[in-house]
């Protein structure tokens, strides 16, 4: 039995086999072949198998994250059928008398270089698609399966690091938990683990030799136990049972109000990153969606999602929530949420850099595409919008002006939409200090305590060395929340918290004292927070 410490993301216990996720590319050797026809036939067969894999990936993605996000697998299928691609591979096999794997790898290199040299962002991105499909074919030819495709039972994923985009693509049904060497407790990967309600450890030693070993993640103690002895297995089962009992107890609160003993009502909403998450919100009886991190639509895609694709996603969320409030935060890309096709320059201090509303106010056509999609979806439910990373009244005015332009464009096209509430995310000290002025021009405030903590305490939320300093309970952060609530109420608008701190039940009473009207938390935390609210006299 080996015991290793890590930083826990979610207080739960799980037990299962480790699956070590390698992310290196496979090495392809240049092997001479005699039988050219056999090699070509093998290539044809691998294309067939790749087509089947892509079809099932398309179905899975459609089920889990929606049609728009699944479309990329259709694009890959079309690329597989491209005649030039096939002819290039055939010709390398014939002329150089080499194995199919090598011919595919060479063609992939040539074609992706050609795409990347093109003077068109869309075409440049096709370079990665070519590499993607070629790697799939090479794996099939070599008899290997893709890392993820090898997972046939629920496992604990072990990896050096997981980017937010990789985490969203993991098959949730096969995921018991994950362990990574890197990461910080405030990163978006950690937030995703909490949304999915799965035990996860970061900053933990990992070893490939542990692949296949049985392990326990103890999210209470922040421990990974490899090859646990019978005593630890017994304890793990007991804790898993206790966790299940707690879940059962909390389930009794479904359908009940989030109201204190003395009758103070709090709107208890949930944070989501994609359409599929609305299922978790409804399962946990969320009263609305307080934060739809719309940038995850961009993270999951291989290219800018179109207005139609975004509209489909926002409409689906609005319809699933059947008239309950859905607050969509406009694109908050940058910092740890990087997307290749944005081609953002590498920055020294990305959290203090070109991100969120700053990008949107520069890339106005891209921003208006999103605004039109949100407005169009508003006709199908109860949608509000909020802008991230606002530091001045001018920024808010510019964003609202672009929203008005988007409305005019829709009106001209005779496309219906509703008038929607427009809110500001309060996540910088600047926004707190000018919250009285912002409050005159916004319909609500939503406090993003994750960023507010990082900017107030000058502590990078991505830096694991600063996990201790990144203390959202710091008196300066609490004071910022109180100031924001006072400004909101002076301006007769409502105020909520959508950062992770909103789920800290040790602070629920304090938030009520400050006058917080809404708490938006990970779907898995809704019932726990409701239990706390209902236990308070306040
Ligand atoms: C909700 C927030 O936004 P995100 O964590 O997505 O940056 C926050 O900063 O508190």
The two three-digit tokens of residue 81, written as one number? 């059928």
- Helix 67-80, helix 36-65: angle, nearest 10: 170
| DSSP code at position 163 | -
For residue 502 and ligand 1, the question of a CB distance below 6 A is answered with: no
CA distances from 156 to 11, 343, 461, 532 (A): 16, 33, 25, 31
pLDDT at position 68 is: 63
The two three-digit tokens of residue 14, written as one number? 């799980």
- For 81-120, where are the alpha helices, taking DSSP H only? 83-96, 100-116
Angle, CA of 192, 310 and 524, to the nearest 5°: 25
Contact 437/391 with Cβ under 8 angstroms? no
pLDDT at position 292 is: 98
As a whole number of angstroms, the distance between CA 21 and CA 180 comes to 10
Output the DSSP codes for 459-528. --TT-GGGTTT--TTSHHHHHHHHHHHHHHHHTT-EEEE-SGGGG-TTSHHHHHHHT--EEEE-GGGHHH
Closest CA to 517 of 496, 534, 493, 538: 496
The two three-digit tokens of residue 90, written as one number? 């055939």
User: With 0-12 CB in 10 A as exposed, 13-18 as middle and 19+ as buried, what is 107?
Assistant: buried
Contact 406/360 with Cβ under 8 angstroms? no
Q: Which CATH number fits domain 36-141: 1.20.1090.10, 3.40.640.10, 3.40.50.10860, 1.10.274.10?
A: 1.10.274.10
CA distances from 377 to 73, 322, 331, 442 (A): 25, 13, 16, 21
Residue 282 CB neighbours (<10 A): 15
The two three-digit tokens of residue 536, written as one number? 């308070």
For residue 295 and ligand 1, the question of a CB distance below 6 A is answered with: no
Kindly give the distance from the C-alpha atom of residue 449 to the centroid of ligand 1, in angstroms, as a whole number. Answer: 7
Annotated catalytic residue within 10, 76, 188, 360: 188
CATH 3.40.50.1370, applies to 261-535: no
For residue 472 and ligand 1, the question of a CB distance below 6 A is answered with: no
Kindly give the distance from the C-alpha atom of residue 425 to the centroid of ligand 1, in angstroms, as a whole number. Answer: 9
For residue 204 and ligand 1, the question of a CB distance below 6 A is answered with: no
pLDDT at position 82 is: 87
- In the numeric block, the tokens 């940038």 are attached to 295
Closest residue to atom 7 of ligand 1, CA basis: 451
For the 2-21+148-229 domain, the top CATH level (class) is alpha beta
Q: What is the CA radius of gyration of the chain?
A: 25
- For 219-264, where are the alpha helices, taking DSSP H only? 230-251
Closest residue to atom 2 of ligand 1, CA basis: 448
As a whole number of angstroms, the distance between CA 205 and CA 221 comes to 16
pLDDT at position 167 is: 72
Q: Where are the domains positioned within the chain?
A: 2-21+148-229, 36-141, 261-535
Closest residue to atom 3 of ligand 1, CA basis: 448
For residue 260 and ligand 1, the question of a CB distance below 6 A is answered with: no
Contact 184/461 with Cβ under 8 angstroms? yes
One digit per residue, the tens of pLDDT, for the chain of length 538 reads: 999 999 999 889 999 999 998 765 556 878 889 999 999 999 999 999 989 888 887 776 676 656 665 677 788 888 888 888 998 999 899 989 999 999 999 998 888 888 777 777 667 667 777 887 888 898 888 876 556 667 788 999 999 888 765 676 677 788 999 999 988 777 777 887 887 788 999 999 999 999 999 999 999 999 999 999 999 999 999 999 999 999 899 999 999 999 999 999 999 999 999 898 998 899 999 999 999 999 999 988 888 999 999 999 999 999 999 999 999 999 998 877 888 888 888 888 888 999 999 999 999 999 999 999 999 999 999 999 999 999 999 999 999 999 999 999 999 999 999 999 999 999 999 999 999 999 999 999 999 999 999 999 999 988 888 888 889 999 999 999 999 999 999 999 999 999 999 999 999 999 999 999 999 999 999 999 999 999 998 7
For residue 68 and ligand 1, the question of a CB distance below 6 A is answered with: no
List of residues 6+ apart from 277 with CB closer than 8 A = 195, 270, 523
List of residues 6+ apart from 195 with CB closer than 8 A = 271, 272, 273, 277, 280, 522, 523, 524
As a whole number of angstroms, the distance between CA 3 and CA 461 comes to 27
| 33 Rama sector, left if φ>0, alpha if ψ -120 to 50, beta otherwise | beta
Q: Which atom of ligand 1 is least distant from the CA of 427? A: 9
pLDDT at position 339 is: 83
Concerning whether 99 is annotated as a catalytic residue, the answer is no
Q: What is the pLDDT of residues 25-80, one digit of tens each?
A: 556 878 889 999 999 999 999 999 989 888 887 776 676 656 665 677 788 888 88
For residue 446 and ligand 1, the question of a CB distance below 6 A is answered with: no
Kindly give the distance from the C-alpha atom of residue 252 to the centroid of ligand 1, in angstroms, as a whole number. Answer: 30
Kindly give the distance from the C-alpha atom of residue 531 to the centroid of ligand 1, in angstroms, as a whole number. Answer: 24
pLDDT at position 27 is: 67
The backbone torsions φ and ψ at residue 15, rounded to the nearest 5 degrees and listed phi first, read -140, 140
List of residues 6+ apart from 58 with CB closer than 8 A = 70, 73, 74, 77
Concerning whether 498 is annotated as a catalytic residue, the answer is yes
| DSSP code at position 208 | G
- For 330-434, where are the alpha helices, taking DSSP H only? 356-362, 364-378, 393-412, 429-433
| Alpha-carbon dihedral sign for residues 295, 455, 496, 538 | positive
Output the DSSP codes for 311-356. HHHHHHHHHHTTTSEEEEEP---BTTB--GGG-PPP-SSGGGSS-H
Mutation test of ligand 1: which of 448, 452, 520, 521 has the most ligand atoms closer than 8 Å to its C-beta? 448
As a whole number of angstroms, the distance between CA 332 and CA 13 comes to 32
List of residues 6+ apart from 254 with CB closer than 8 A = 284, 285, 527
Residue 537 CB neighbours (<10 A): 8
Q: How do strand 214-218 and strand 223-226 relate by DSSP bridges?
A: antiparallel
CA 269 to centroid of chain Cα atoms: 18
- In the numeric block, the tokens 């070599």 are attached to 142
As a whole number of angstroms, the distance between CA 355 and CA 366 comes to 14
CA 492 to centroid of chain Cα atoms: 33
Output the DSSP codes for 261-316. TT--B-EEEEEESSTTHHHHHHHTT-SEEEEEETHHHHHSSSSPPPHHHHHHHHHH
């Amino acid at each position: 039995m080996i015991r290793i410490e890590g930083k826990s993301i979610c207080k739960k216990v799980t037990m299962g086999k480790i699956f070590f996720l390698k992310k290196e590319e496979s090495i392809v050797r240049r092997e001479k072949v005699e039988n050219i026809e056999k090699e070509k036939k093998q290539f044809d067969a691998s294309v067939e198998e790749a087509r089947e894999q892509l079809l099932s990936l398309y179905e899975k993605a459609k089920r889990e994250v929606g049609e728009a996000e699944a479309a990329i697998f259709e694009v890959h299928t079309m690329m597989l059928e491209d005649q030039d691609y096939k002819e290039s591979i055939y010709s390398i096999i014939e002329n150089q008398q080499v194995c199919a794997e090598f011919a595919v790898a060479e063609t992939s290199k040539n074609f992706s270089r050609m795409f990347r040299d093109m003077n068109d962002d869309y075409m440049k991105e096709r370079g990665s698609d070519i590499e993607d499909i070629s790697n799939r074919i090479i794996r099939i030819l070599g008899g290997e399966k893709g890392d993820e495709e090898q997972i046939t039972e629920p496992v604990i994923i072990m990896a050096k690091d997981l980017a937010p985009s990789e985490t969203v693509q993991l098959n949730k049904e096969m995921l018991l938990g994950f362990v990574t060497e890197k990461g910080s407790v405030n990163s978006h990967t950690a937030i995703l683990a909490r949304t999915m309600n799965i035990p996860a450890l970061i900053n933990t030693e990992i070893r490939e030799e542990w692949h296949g070993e049985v392990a326990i993640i103890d999210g209470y103690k922040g421990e990974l136990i490899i090859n646990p002895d019978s005593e630890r297995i017994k304890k793990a089962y007991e804790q898993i049972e206790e966790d299940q009992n707690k879940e059962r107890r909390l389930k009794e609160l479904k359908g009940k109000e989030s109201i204190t003993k003395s009758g103070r009502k709090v709107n208890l909403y949930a944070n989501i990153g994609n359409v599929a998450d609305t299922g978790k919100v409804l399962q946990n009886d969320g009263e609305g969606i307080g934060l739809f991190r719309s940038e995850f639509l961009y993270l999951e895609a291989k290219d800018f999602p179109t207005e139609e694709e975004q509209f489909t996603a926002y409409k689906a969320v609005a319809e699933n929530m059947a008239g309950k409030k859905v607050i969509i935060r406009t694109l908050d890309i940058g910092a740890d949420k990087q997307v290749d096709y944005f081609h953002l320059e590498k920055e020294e201090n990305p959290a203090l850099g070109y991100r969120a509303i700053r990008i949107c106010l520069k890339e106005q056509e891209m921003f208006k595409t999103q605004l039109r999609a949100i407005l169009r979806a508003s006709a199908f439910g109860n949608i509000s919008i909020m802008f991230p990373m606002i530091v001045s009244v001018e920024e808010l005015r510019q964003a609202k002006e672009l929203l008005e332009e988007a409305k005019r464009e829709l009106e001209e096209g005779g496309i219906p939409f509703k008038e929607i509430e427009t809110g500001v995310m309060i996540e910088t000290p600047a926004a707190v200090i000018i919250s009285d002025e912002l409050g005159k021009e916004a319909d609500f405030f939503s406090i993003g305590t994750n960023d507010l903590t990082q900017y107030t305490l000058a502590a990078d939320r991505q830096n694991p060395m600063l996990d201790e300093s990144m203390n959202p309970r710091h008196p300066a952060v609490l004071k910022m929340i109180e100031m924001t609530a006072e400004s909101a109420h002076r301006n007769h608008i409502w105020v909520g918290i959508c950062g992770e701190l909103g789920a800290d039940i040790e602070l629920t009473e304090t938030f009520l004292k400050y006058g917080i009207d809404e708490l938006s938390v990970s779907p898995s935390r809704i019932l726990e927070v409701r239990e706390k609210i209902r236990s308070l006299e306040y």
